[in-house]
A = this chain, B = another copy of it.
Amino acid sequence: MKALILVGGFGTRLRPLTLSVPKPLVEFANKPMILHQIEALKAVGVTEVVLAINYQPEVMLNFLKEFETKLGITITCSQETEPLGTAGPLALARDKLIDESGEPFFVLNSDVISEYPFKEMIEFHKAHGGEASIMVTKVDEPSKYGVVVMEESTGQVDKFVEKPKLFVGNKINAGIYLLNPSVLDRIELRPTSIEKEVFPKIAAEKKLFAMVLPGFWMDIGQPRDYITGLRLYLDSLRKKASPKLAAGSHIVGNVLVHETAKIGEGCLIGPDVAIGPGCVVESGVRLSRCTVMRGVRIKKHACISSSIIGWHSTVGQWARVENMTILGEDVHVCDEIYSNGGVVLPHKEIKSSILKPEIVM
């Protein structure tokens, strides 16, 4: 089986992290975002993954060679020369997705984190016999999204309503599809929206079915949702009693600590924290609801919450870092500094406090 992951463009919403690394390679819960998806696809028998990208393919390809070998799966890039929207890339990658086996192929939006119930989705798809299946997820405020209106029992999709003013349903497109090769015949090689142009046609022919995504879902393409997504992800690890979660008297709630990270005396870590490889957390540090990327040093008595600390950065002694502070790569926050929502570009030193959210360039 094959899969296409819509990686897309510049990842500007996840800056400053994406100023250092292409978005799919930004780690989430200590693993590159795209690796979460590729591993789940491999687990259901996908043998080839195509990445639809339009930016930095060379950087991606180097990393991917490494994953290909480790995972035993073929990974290729399909590069857009102009942005092709959410459906055009499928046409571009047509030859890579069709192989005469007639099997359906997966399409994923690269920002989506979930439990990836691909096996259940394959069974759902075979059972309804339609042309296309999409995962939908329940949200509290459907009016902000494109709502999928469907028949509850069969999942047959009636229509899509973009940002509905009146309530029509609370299921939105989760960005995970399983499509028969015939869907490719509906897509021209030009900028096309799968939600606005392709799916509505399939729905009108009553061949589109939606499955409600079990478990959590999050689009982690921007920092606030990335942080919320980590909470949901770690919560699902807890439900599976995963041994990956850290344990100990200094751990509160769900916490991931890479085996090469060091944590000092008297720390209190958690809930909802991920600490990456090579990190050093000195004594007396408080971390909650944050991600600490590879190679970071957090100095004594610092207190960090609801933030992301980028690769190889340092946070000084007694520093207080909170409220969606995002430090890019190699950022150094001096001792006793306060950051309230500072968004700091790579290779900077923060020598004075940031009292209200702002970008430091």
Q: Which of A9, A12, A343 is packed against the most chain B CB atoms within 10 Å? A: A12
Of the four ranges (under 10, 10 to 19, 20 to 34, 35 or more), the interface on chain A belongs to: 10 to 19
Is A361 a contact of B343 with CB atoms below 8 Å?
yes
User: Cβ of A348: which chain B residues have Cβ within 8 Å of it?
Assistant: 12
User: Cβ of A15: which chain B residues have Cβ within 8 Å of it?
Assistant: 345, 361
User: Cβ of A359: which chain B residues have Cβ within 8 Å of it?
Assistant: 359, 361
A216 at the binding interface (Cβ < 8 Å): no
User: Cβ of A346: which chain B residues have Cβ within 8 Å of it?
Assistant: 10
Expressed in whole angstroms, the Cα–Cα distance for A346 and B9 within the complex equals 12
Expressed in whole angstroms, the Cα–Cα distance for A361 and B11 within the complex equals 11
- A residues 309-361 with Cβ under 8 Å of B? 343, 345-348, 359, 361
User: Cβ of A345: which chain B residues have Cβ within 8 Å of it?
Assistant: 12, 15
Is A10 a contact of B347 with CB atoms below 8 Å?
yes
Expressed in whole angstroms, the Cα–Cα distance for A345 and B17 within the complex equals 13
Is B347 a contact of A16 with CB atoms below 8 Å?
no
Expressed in whole angstroms, the Cα–Cα distance for A12 and B348 within the complex equals 8
User: Chain A's interface: helix, strand, loop or mixed, by majority?
Assistant: loop
A60 at the binding interface (Cβ < 8 Å): no
A46 at the binding interface (Cβ < 8 Å): no
Copies of this chain, whole number: 2
User: Cβ of A10: which chain B residues have Cβ within 8 Å of it?
Assistant: 346-347
- A residues 142-177 with Cβ under 8 Å of B? none
A108 at the binding interface (Cβ < 8 Å): no
User: Cβ of A16: which chain B residues have Cβ within 8 Å of it?
Assistant: 361
Is A12 a contact of B343 with CB atoms below 8 Å?
no
User: Cβ of A55: which chain B residues have Cβ within 8 Å of it?
Assistant: 347
Q: Which of A10, A359, A361 is packed against the most chain B CB atoms within 10 Å? A: A361
4 nearest A-B pairs in the assembled complex, by CB-CB distance? A10-B347, A359-B359, A15-B361, A359-B361
A205: shortest Cβ distance to chain B, in Å? 35
Expressed in whole angstroms, the Cα–Cα distance for A19 and B12 within the complex equals 13
Expressed in whole angstroms, the Cα–Cα distance for A128 and B275 within the complex equals 61
User: Cβ of A347: which chain B residues have Cβ within 8 Å of it?
Assistant: 9-10, 12, 55
- A residues 34-59 with Cβ under 8 Å of B? 55
Expressed in whole angstroms, the Cα–Cα distance for A219 and B15 within the complex equals 29
Expressed in whole angstroms, the Cα–Cα distance for A347 and B55 within the complex equals 11
Expressed in whole angstroms, the Cα–Cα distance for A12 and B331 within the complex equals 12
Expressed in whole angstroms, the Cα–Cα distance for A347 and B15 within the complex equals 12
- A residues 90-119 with Cβ under 8 Å of B? none
Residue of chain B at shortest CB distance from A16: B361
A143: shortest Cβ distance to chain B, in Å? 21
Expressed in whole angstroms, the Cα–Cα distance for A16 and B12 within the complex equals 13
Q: List 15 A-B contacts (CB under 8 A).
A: A9-B347, A10-B346, A10-B347, A12-B345, A12-B347, A12-B348, A12-B361, A15-B345, A15-B361, A16-B361, A19-B19, A55-B347, A343-B361, A359-B359, A359-B361
